[in-house]
Amino acid sequence: MKIGTKVIHAGIEPDPSTGAIMTPIYQTSTYVQAEPGKHKGYEYARTQNPTRNALEKNLAALENGTNAICFGSGLAAMDAILKLLNPGDEIISTNDLYGGSYRLMTKIYARYGIKSHFVSMNDPSSLKKHINENTKLIWIETPTNPMLNIVDITKVCKIAKQHNVLTCVDNTFASPYLQTPLDMGADLVLHSATKYLGGHSDVVLGAVVVKSDELAEKLHFIQNASGAIPGPQDCFLILRGIKTLHIRVERACKNAKQVAKFLQTHPKTKNVYYPGFKTHPNHKIAKKQMRDFGGMVSFDLQDDSFKMAKKVLSNTKYFSLAESLGGVESLIGHPASMTHASIPKAERLKVGLTDSLIRLSVGIEDIDDLLEDLEQALTNI
Ligand SMILES: *Cc1c(COP(=O)(O)O)cnc(C)c1O
């Protein structure tokens, strides 16, 4: 089955009791048993819920995995993955990543004796020097946030395998429409389904997808023991969002390409970060491992200051100033004062995250309106 069919059909059956074509929201906490232990596979809703199961089957199919496990948020899903580790274990992670992921590793898991190292994965072969006998997990985010670097998933996974280290790819920015990391050797895929999978900025949910029953069993155990499950209504909303994933992401990529080109030639902008440019340092890898270049574009200004960036942010009318990404509506953000405010300025500047850096999540509105909006926002600063 191809992805455009999977999004609609994979794991979805008409409701057996009524024939309802849409997966029902099983809003129940428990299930009646005929006699103790005699039931239809459902005992208690922390452990199993049919709406959640349908979403999990769908996500497993989208990522070419065998099992998916859904959680109350992307970070709850990541938390379950980190609980696979033991005190003394170490993580190697991309150094340009989602702030919440960084916080979970450094502020929570570090206290339980799990150390994280943040490195550039632009050259995967340099990873070897960071791996030691305690390394148990390599954490990859690609495209990275907000600089939109691309990590060669196949190469990193190959090195990890040689050292018996698990790899997890945070596939939130790309979505399974653009890349399927399990096919490139990853052991785990993480999603903040809040973003492209849901796609309508109306729900927070997370998921892990794996291709090994052993890992799935461990994660199910952790989920049931720790309890960070999503509610059935939220699962329904993600299922509904996924049905249009392919056309939404396709359109967002198309719009982003035009936005990137427009920004590149605008006199008020300086650097434009977009993996679809031939001049982007990782363009070849992006072309190899992704179907298209994504809906995210970052740029900074000739007049590099917070003040100028803030003017642009308040000038746009279709690009709403907000955190998050991947919805049908375009969003604009300022990493230095929003998502990456806790990172010291010197550290930020090393990766190109300047005071005026602006991140766009390009939505699926009409491109003419989006370009006109950016034009007036930049001209009037
Ligand atoms: C939003 C996000 C997360 C966290 O997901 P939540 O659903 O907000 O908990 C993790 N990784 C990336 C890349 C994200 O954008």
**DSSP code string of 59-122:** HHHHTT-SEEEEESSHHHHHHHHHTTS-TT-EEEEESS--HHHHHIIIIIGGGGT-EEEEE--S
CATH architecture assignment, domain 3-242: 3-Layer(aba) Sandwich (3.40)
Task: Cite the residue boundaries of each domain of the chain with CATH code 3.40.640.10.
Answer: 3-242
Output the furthest CA–CA distance in the chain (Å, rounded).
74
pLDDT of residue 348: 87
Is 345 part of the annotated catalytic residue set?
no
Nearest CA to ligand 1 atom 1: 192
The string of pLDDT tens digits covering residues 56-94 is: 999 999 999 999 999 999 999 999 999 999 999 999 999
- Least confidently predicted of 37-41, 85-89, 163-167, 375-379: 37-41
- The β-bridge partners of 116 are 91
pLDDT of residue 342: 74
Give 250's pLDDT tier (boundaries 50, 70, 90).
Answer: very high
- Express the helix, strand and coil content of the chain in percent, nearest 5 each: 40, 15, 45
Cα–Cα distance for residue pair 114/86, rounded to 1 Å? 7
Task: Cite the residue boundaries of each domain of the chain with CATH code 3.90.1150.10.
Answer: 245-379
Q: Which residue has the higher pLDDT, 105 or 97?
A: 105
From the candidate CATH numbers 2.40.170.20, 3.30.70.260, 3.30.450.20, 3.90.1150.10, the one assigned to the domain spanning 245-379: 3.90.1150.10
Contacts of 277 (CB under 8 A, 6+ apart): 260, 264, 283
Percent of the chain with pLDDT strictly greater than 70: 100
Compute the mean pLDDT over every residue in the chain, rounded to the nearest whole number: 96
The string of pLDDT tens digits covering residues 336-358 is: 999 888 778 887 898 899 999 99
Is 46 part of the annotated catalytic residue set?
yes
The string of pLDDT tens digits covering residues 298-313 is: 999 999 999 999 999 9
Pocket of ligand 1 (CB under 6 A): 73-75, 98, 100-101, 141, 145, 170, 172-173, 192, 194-195, 204, 206
pLDDT of residue 340: 85
Distance from residue 78's CA to the centre of ligand 1 (Å):
9
Cα–Cα distance for residue pair 257/297, rounded to 1 Å? 9
Asked if residue 233 lies in contact with residue 342, where contact means CB atoms within 8 angstroms, the answer is no
Is 170 part of the annotated catalytic residue set?
yes
pLDDT surpassing 80 at residue 376: yes
